[in-house]
Amino acid sequence: MAHARGIVAFSSVYVFDDVITKGPSITSKVLGNAQGMYVGTAKDGYTILMVIDVEITTGPFNGSSFVLFSRNPLRSTRELPVIGGRGAFRMAQGYGMLRMVCVHCLTSTNPPSGDVIEYNVTLWHH
């Protein structure tokens, strides 16, 4: 929902369950899914508080997940900390660099008016 002064209306809550792929193409290999939520926390509409649980569903990390959680200023690039995980990512620490690839660019086979965001995550785990 757009806000007159920003992108996300103050106090609005959004929940998501999105596919994670190796690249931005609809035919890219699926690596897992991201479930989470975000809340419009700035009255100007340009900052959200976001929690994302990223579960890997293929390869050696199948069934493991890590969590990103922080304030997320809505800019073309931003950083979120990795605050933990489960499975192979138990006690994970690190950060994710997020970059907006395209806005309102997905086709009817994907969520309408969806965005593509690149996540480059560096994490340390035991």
Q: Which residues contact 27 (CB under 8 A, 6 or more apart)?
A: none
Per-residue pLDDT for 97 more than 90? yes
Average pLDDT value for residue range 49-65: 97
Per-residue pLDDT for 49 more than 70? yes
pLDDT score, position 113: 56
pLDDT band at 5 (very low <50, low <70, confident <90, very high): low
Question: How far is residue 104's CA from residue 70's CA, in Å, rounded to a whole number?
Answer: 24
Which pair of structure tokens corresponds to residue 123? 């994490």
Q: What percent of the chain has pLDDT over 90?
A: 63
Average pLDDT value for residue range 88-107: 85
Q: In the predicted model, what is the mean pLDDT of the chain?
A: 87
Question: How far is residue 98's CA from residue 109's CA, in Å, rounded to a whole number?
Answer: 24
The alpha carbons of the chain give a radius of gyration, in whole angstroms, of 15
pLDDT score, position 41: 93
Q: What is the pLDDT of residues 14-37, one digit of tens each?
A: 999 999 999 888 789 999 999 999
Q: Helix or strand or coil: residue 89? A: helix
Domain ranges of the chain: 13-124
- Give the amino acid at 109: T
pLDDT band at 81 (very low <50, low <70, confident <90, very high): very high
Per-residue pLDDT for 105 more than 90? no
Which pair of structure tokens corresponds to residue 11? 């106090």
